[in-house]
């Protein structure tokens, strides 16, 4: 059931109940109270009438109870669970018990109490008990709860505590308590990647040309002040553990890493690091590689990506047709290939992205593109990041003779590399030509966070479970496209002044 959607079958059962009750009322008015039958037959007649009336009433009310529906008449549908939360409840195949302690004086807590009741009616496997600690202090003491608006989820001996008044957080808690093993997301560092400990964010939304972050010597995206801490916190909110991995100081990628995230490396790998990454993939690891403009691939790393069916040229994509704001190098994507990672995605944007050139992968690896730029896009050459400058600083000028056409921006690979151990699981890898879309500055906007999270969910093999978005706090902003800004400019700077002039001329003309 979608958010705010009414179950029409339950409504039909309600009308059936109303018809049955109306029939009983009409029969009560029409059937004679006394008959000319013998006393025995008269008693039998009355007993039959009473039995029929009771039977119809019981069946009608039983049907009503078994086909209950929830109708939320509020405009914002505040008492209706979100579509994502209901999807999690629909997928339940294991009993889950939820004990929610709410504050009877808190409107948000009262709202969630009602919403949880609707969720419990959706699936019998979800057992919900709501408790007001002020009225039932013994229950709160039994669970050791000293605060309100806390949910305790229990399933198969596991327990998760969630403090919230949002059903989305409860849905995430359900997924966490049903998870049989801990999932660890590892962030690779050591090559000037986005640091996972950096939670800095910016409130500006400029394009690639102005994205220097007070670094006047750079004409590429230099993101030393950026971090990827917001993505880390979003993963932790989903119940994933996170840790940092530095290949140069370790023997390899730890066994506990279900997914390795390499976000925007700026310095070249060492050959031993590339070998460790290949060994990780050979034993069935998962890799999210966000390799931004100018990053130079060490030969062994380039060969590894070639085995996965990808080659990365030193070019930037320019898309005059589909871009965000006024910058043609802030490529916007609204059309996606069919994939578990791209279901229900709206627009995403990438502040400076390099194209991916598909090449034949090695035997045993299946490759599929995820999304591409528009038909009018083209590329311009850039120098490696060490050069810290672009060969052609004017984005609208082409530096070579390639014809416009779609450029692949992200690809997914799955399978087994040569030399994989016997019985090793299939590796999964996602390669994207940009890392800024998942950085602190751009992750919360449009569908960037949905894309980043869906990539990680696919890599850790949780793509079949319902996706519940994690709320990422952002400062209040109004984000406008280039067309919207042009319309506002024309309205404020031209139409309104002309309207004032026209009114003045009209008044003058009438008074002359």
Give the residue extent of every domain in the chain.
8-66, 83-178, 184-459, 486-512
Residue 400 is predicted with a pLDDT of: 47
Q: What is the mean pLDDT of residues 109-122?
A: 87
The Cα diameter of the chain in Å comes to 111
* Range from 88-97, 299-308, 397-406, 451-460 carrying the lowest mean pLDDT: 397-406
The third-level CATH classification (topology) of the domain covering 83-178 is Glutaredoxin (3.40.30)
Residue whose C-alpha is closest to residue 445's, from 124, 262, 186, 204: 204
Q: How far apart are CA 357 and CA 367, in angstroms?
A: 12
Residue 176, phi then psi, degrees to nearest 5 = -70, -45
Q: How far apart are CA 338 and CA 265, in angstroms?
A: 29
Residue whose C-alpha is closest to residue 281's, from 182, 189, 414, 410: 414
Q: How far apart are CA 355 and CA 445, in angstroms?
A: 22
Residue 471 is predicted with a pLDDT of: 66
Q: How far apart are CA 71 and CA 7, in angstroms?
A: 9
Task: Give the pLDDT band of residue 122 (cuts 50, 70, 90).
Answer: confident
Check whether 388 has a pLDDT greater than 60: no
Structure tokens at 178: 């049903």
Q: What is the mean pLDDT of residues 471-483?
A: 57
Report whether 335 contacts 391 (CB < 8 A).
Answer: no
Q: How far apart are CA 173 and CA 92, in angstroms?
A: 13
Q: How far apart are CA 148 and CA 454, in angstroms?
A: 32
Which of the two residues, 70 and 162, has the higher pLDDT score?
Answer: 162
Which of the two residues, 427 and 48, has the higher pLDDT score?
Answer: 427
Indicate yes or no: pTM above 0.85.
no
The domain at 184-459 falls in which architecture? 3-Layer(aba) Sandwich (3.40)
Residue 281, phi then psi, degrees to nearest 5 = -70, -35
Which of the two residues, 360 and 204, has the higher pLDDT score?
Answer: 360
Task: Give the pLDDT band of residue 397 (cuts 50, 70, 90).
Answer: very low
Check whether 409 has a pLDDT greater than 90: yes
Task: Give the pLDDT band of residue 213 (cuts 50, 70, 90).
Answer: very low
Check whether 8 has a pLDDT greater than 70: no
Task: Give the pLDDT band of residue 212 (cuts 50, 70, 90).
Answer: very low
Check whether 244 has a pLDDT greater than 90: yes
Q: Classify residue 317 as exposed, middle or buried by CB count within 10 Å of its CB (0-12, 13-18, 19+).
A: buried
Check whether 224 has a pLDDT greater than 50: no
Percent of the chain with pLDDT over 90: 34
Check whether 394 has a pLDDT greater than 70: no
Residue 460 is predicted with a pLDDT of: 93
Task: Give the pLDDT band of residue 222 (cuts 50, 70, 90).
Answer: very low
Q: How far apart are CA 448 and CA 442, in angstroms?
A: 7
Strand partners, 256: none
Fold equal for 83-178 and 184-459 = no
Check whether 333 has a pLDDT greater than 60: yes
Whose tokens are 């009225």? That residue is 135
Report whether 371 contacts 437 (CB < 8 A).
Answer: no
Residue 510, SS3 per DSSP: helix
Residue 355 is predicted with a pLDDT of: 94
Which of the two residues, 224 and 159, has the higher pLDDT score?
Answer: 159
Q: What is the mean pLDDT of residues 127-139?
A: 86
Q: How far apart are CA 502 and CA 16, in angstroms?
A: 63
Residue whose C-alpha is closest to residue 68's, from 15, 21, 105, 14: 14
The answer to whether the Cα torsion of 201, 203, 207, 208 is positive or negative is: negative
Q: Classify residue 185 as exposed, middle or buried by CB count within 10 Å of its CB (0-12, 13-18, 19+).
A: buried
Report whether 94 contacts 125 (CB < 8 A).
Answer: yes
Q: How far apart are CA 4 and CA 11, in angstroms?
A: 14
Q: How far apart are CA 298 and CA 272, in angstroms?
A: 10
Residue whose C-alpha is closest to residue 342's, from 481, 447, 465: 447
Residue 286 is predicted with a pLDDT of: 95
pLDDT in tens, 176-193: 888 888 899 999 999 989
Q: Please provide the average confidence, as pLDDT, over all residues in the chain.
A: 82
Strand partners, 311: 357
Report whether 412 contacts 376 (CB < 8 A).
Answer: no
Structure tokens at 413: 């690979």
Q: What is the mean pLDDT of residues 482-492?
A: 74
Structure tokens at 57: 């009433």
Residue 39 is predicted with a pLDDT of: 73
Q: How many helices (H) and strands (E) does the chain have?
A: 12, 17
Q: What is the mean pLDDT of residues 433-440?
A: 92
Q: How far apart are CA 137 and CA 396, in angstroms?
A: 69
Report whether 352 contacts 221 (CB < 8 A).
Answer: yes
Q: What is the mean pLDDT of residues 156-168?
A: 88
Q: Which ranges in 372-464 belong to alpha helices (H)?
A: 448-459
Report whether 67 contacts 10 (CB < 8 A).
Answer: yes
Structure tokens at 236: 């932790």
Contacts of 225 (CB under 8 A, 6+ apart): 198, 200, 213
Which of the two residues, 411 and 40, has the higher pLDDT score?
Answer: 411
Residue 205 is predicted with a pLDDT of: 44
Q: What is the mean pLDDT of residues 336-350?
A: 91
* Angle value at C-alpha 252, between 248 and 255, nearest 5 degrees: 145
Task: Give the pLDDT band of residue 62 (cuts 50, 70, 90).
Answer: confident
pLDDT in tens, 256-294: 999 999 999 999 999 999 999 999 999 999 999 999 988
Structure tokens at 68: 């209950």
Residue 426 is predicted with a pLDDT of: 93
């Amino acid at each position: 059931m979608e958010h705010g959607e009414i179950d029409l079958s339950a409504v039909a059962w309600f009308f059936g109940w109303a018809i049955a009750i109306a029939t009983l009322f009409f029969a009560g008015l029409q059937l004679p109270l006394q008959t000319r039958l013998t006393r025995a037959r008269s008693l039998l007649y009355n007993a039959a009438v009473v039995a029929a009336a009771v039977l119809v009433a019981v069946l009608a009310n039983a049907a009503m109870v078994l086909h209950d529906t929830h109708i939320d008449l509020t405009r914002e549908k505040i008492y209706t669970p979100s579509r994502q939360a209901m999807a999690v409840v629909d997928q339940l195949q294991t009993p889950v018990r939820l004990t929610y302690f709410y504050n009877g004086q808190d409107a948000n807590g009262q709202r969630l109490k009602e919403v949880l009741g609707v969720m419990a009616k959706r699936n019998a496997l979800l057992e919900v008990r709501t408790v007001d600690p002020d009225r039932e202090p013994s229950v709160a003491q039994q669970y050791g709860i000293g605060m309100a608006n806390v949910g305790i989820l229990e399933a198969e001996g596991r327990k998760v505590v969630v403090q919230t008044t949002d059903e989305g957080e409860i849905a995430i808690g359900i997924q966490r308590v049903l998870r049989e093993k801990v999932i660890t997301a590892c962030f690779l560092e050591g090559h000037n990647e986005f640091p996972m400990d950096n939670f800095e964010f910016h409130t500006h939304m400029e394009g690639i040309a102005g994205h220097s972050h007070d670094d006047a010597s750079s004409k590429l995206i230099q993101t030393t002040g950026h971090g990827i801490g917001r993505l880390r916190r979003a993963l932790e909110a989903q119940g994933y553990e996170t840790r940092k991995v530095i290949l140069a100081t370790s023997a390899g990628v730890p066994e506990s890493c279900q997914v390795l995230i390499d976000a925007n490396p700026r310095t070249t790998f060492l050959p031993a690091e590339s070998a460790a990454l290949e060994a990780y993939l050979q034993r069935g690891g998962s890799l999210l590689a966000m390799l931004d403009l100018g990053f130079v691939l060490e030969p062994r790393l380039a060969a590894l990506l070639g085995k996965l069916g990808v080659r990365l040229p030193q070019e930037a994509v320019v898309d005059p047709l589909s871009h965000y704001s006024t910058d043609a190098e802030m490529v916007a994507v609204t059309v996606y290939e069919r994939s578990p990672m791209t279901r229900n995605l709206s627009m995403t944007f990438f502040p400076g992205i390099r194209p991916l050139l598909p090449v034949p992968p090695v035997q045993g690896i299946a490759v599929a593109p995820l999304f591409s730029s528009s038909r009018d896009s083209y590329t311009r050459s850039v120098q490696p990041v060490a050069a810290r400058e672009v060969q052609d600083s004017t984005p609208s000028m082409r530096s070579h003779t390639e014809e416009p056409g779609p450029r692949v921006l992200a690809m997914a690979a799955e399978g087994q590399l040569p030399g994989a151990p016997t019985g090793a699981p299939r590796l999964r890898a996602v390669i994207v030509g940009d890392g800024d879309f998942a950085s602190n500055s751009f992750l919360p906007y449009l569908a960037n966070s949905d894309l980043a999270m869906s990539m990680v969910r696919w890599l850790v093999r949780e793509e079949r479970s319902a996706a519940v978005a994690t709320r990422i706090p952002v400062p209040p902003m109004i984000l406008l496209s280039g067309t919207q800004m042009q319309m506002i400019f024309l309205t404020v700077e031209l139409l309104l002044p002309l309207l004032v002039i026209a009114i003045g001329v009209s008044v003058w003309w009438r008074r002359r």
